[in-house]
Amino acid sequence: MSARTESGPQVTQMPLAEVIASLASVPQLKLDGISSERVKERVLEKEDGWYFTTRGGEKGPYTTEKQAKRRLTKYILMAQEEGRSDRPEELEKVG
């Protein structure tokens, strides 16, 4: 289970049953999955191609919307993995 705090991502290892119980105990919690509307809003078209936005700025241009979405998915997965790794520079290679 991971969460982003002011100091950065925090990752906690726990059994799936505990994760489910923890999430169920906070009914107002809203999770952003890769296919969520919020993530979809991060892909945009400009005159020179397709981009996706991150906290650090825009990444692109990409030739197609599909390509930008794929790169955004890869970026999100790598950002989640960053919390478990000491190699945050890998995120810069995605864009």
In the chain, the largest separation of any two C-alpha atoms, in whole Å, equals 47
Based on DSSP, count helices (H) and strands (E) in the chain, helices before strands. Answer: 4, 5
Taking only the tens place, the pLDDT of each residue in 82-92 is 655 455 555 66
User: Is the model's pTM score more than 0.75?
Assistant: no
CA-closest candidate to residue 3, choices 17, 95, 26: 26
Q: Which residues pair with 62 in a beta bridge?
A: 50
Q: What angle do CA 23, 4, 17 make, to 5 degrees?
A: 25
Could you read off the pLDDT of 11-42 as tens digits, one per residue?
A: 777 787 777 777 777 766 555 566 677 777 89
Sketch the domain layout of the chain as residue ranges: 2-94
